[in-house]
Amino acid sequence: MSRHLEGTFVVATHNKGKLREIEELVAPFGLHAVSAASLNLPEPVEDGDTFIANALIKARAAAFAAKLPALADDSGICVAALDGAPGIYSARWAGESKDFGHAMEKVEAGLRERDCVTPAQRKAWFISALALVWPDGHEEIVEGRVDGTLVWPPRGAAGFGYDPMFLPDGETRTFGEMTSEEKHGLPPLGKGLSHRARAFIELAERCLKR
């Protein structure tokens, strides 16, 4: 049975871009978000083999350490021509320095090695798994996906991660060229376009009250 989230909760991330997006998503619901980084919570080892598994690792660790409900996102980009890579290793492709410019170059190099030059050969999708965990062990899990095509060179300086090279299906601008409202604004003001917004819409229907 679903449970409503109220009051203060932890966003189980040390990623400032991800934290900002989640704070914007929960803003209409009157919730108070604190980050795992602000609470000095350690980052757990993400050794799951799926996005959901890794989201649960982070949410469980934060919920039990902070004694508060915790929301974690595990997300990444999957490239069809690279057999779904980088997938759950999307952040690791950026290295310890979190250099996503290098990570995007690595994706592009992989595509060129396979002579993937046409849009049909450069299909990709973003996945976001959201796990909401309470200290007593109650868990809610959702997953969202958005499909698109990879462009080169990257376009736009907005967003974070692989956003500048990802062109969502049906759009003319990359995530890196969109405002935050355009990328993940919720209906009726926005399209709920991003993978994280799509997962959040489902989570909100289950667990959040305006």
H or E, element range at 146: strand 139-150
Catalytic, out of 47, 73, 74, 99: 74
Do residues 143 and 130 make contact, with C-beta atoms less than 8 angstroms apart? Answer: yes
Do residues 173 and 167 make contact, with C-beta atoms less than 8 angstroms apart? Answer: yes
Which structure tokens are listed for 9?
Answer: 């909760």
User: Which stretches of 81-179 are DSSP H helices?
Assistant: 100-113
Question: Is 74 tagged catalytic?
Answer: yes
Nearest residue to 164 via CA among 190, 143, 183: 183
Residues taking part in catalysis? 74
